[in-house]
Amino acid sequence: MNKIIKTILVIFMHLQLSVAVYAQKDITQFLGLPIDGYKPEMIKKLKEKGFVTNPSDKEALVGEFNGTKVNLYIATNNNKVYRIMISDANMIDEGDVKIRFNNLLNQFHNNKKYISASLFDSSYTISEDEDISYEMKVNTKRYEAAFYQLPTKEIDSTIMKKEFSDYLLKKYTQEQISNPTEEIKNNIIKEGLSYMLDRFSKKVVWFMISELYGKYYITMFYDNEYNRSNGEDL
């Protein structure tokens, strides 16, 4: 196998990533449920997980998630589910929400099912002395963190090599791949990273601090970017 392809595979393994053979089949999941299909089906499946209709908001389900009581909302595009939004049911004060945000950040970083969307900068936490009320109101600062959900299936290395090789052959000849110039070599490495990130950017899980009347809560989003609107209906 060409050394350039091996170099890209080393990068993949170093980041503990694997490339899905068919990206559309490997989509964001919430509690093991693919974020896809029609809303009534998703509601039925979530109720089987223990969620119930919120009596004060018929558009929401209520239940427990990650040890916290939450309200859950389902967003659709062309009648297909593309987002699960989860909001803390109980609001808390500024000090507690900083702790909750930092704890959640650590949980994601320590969970092997995820990798930080920033990839190489995973150190961000909110300091104890930061005035988030001032920052949010005066500086319109957003406290949020995003992660990519990794594939749910291990992909055989032979298949990975085959798919990436096929991808390269759409842009370069076999001769260029086998005997690359320095410029082509660097471009192939960039192509590999771009290819990898494009796959995982379709499976985003992110969360943020939300505020209402001086109280705070965490809102989380599990997004299937394949189903999101891209202006195709315009």
The C-alpha angle with vertex 47 and arms to 61 and 90, in degrees rounded to 5, equals 35
| Predicted local confidence at residue 24, as pLDDT | 43
Mean pLDDT of 64-92: 96
| Strand ranges in the chain using DSSP code E only, listed in sequence order | 29-30, 33-34, 52-54, 57-65, 68-77, 80-88, 114-116, 144-149, 203-212, 215-224
What tens digit of pLDDT does each residue of 134-183 get? 999 999 999 999 999 887 665 545 555 677 778 788 888 888 888 889 89
Summarize pLDDT for 47-73 with one digit per residue, the tens: 999 999 999 888 899 999 999 999 999
Residue 99: which residues within 8 A CB-CB, separation 6 or more?
A: none
Instruction: Return the number of other C-beta atoms located less than 10 Å from residue 61's C-beta.
Output: 23
Per-residue confidence (pLDDT) for residue 20, from 0 to 100: 41
List 61's β-bridge partners, or say none: 53, 72
More confident residue, 228 or 43: 43
Query: What are the residues whose beta carbons fall under 8 Å from the beta carbon of 5, sequence distance 6 or more?
Result: 161, 164, 165, 168, 177
Domain boundaries, the chain: 3-224
Strand partners, 212: 215
Asked if residue 31 has pLDDT above 70, the reply is: yes
215-224/68-77 β-pairing = unpaired
Chain segment 2-22, per-residue pLDDT in tens: 555 555 555 555 444 444 444
> What is the predicted pLDDT for the residue at 215?
97
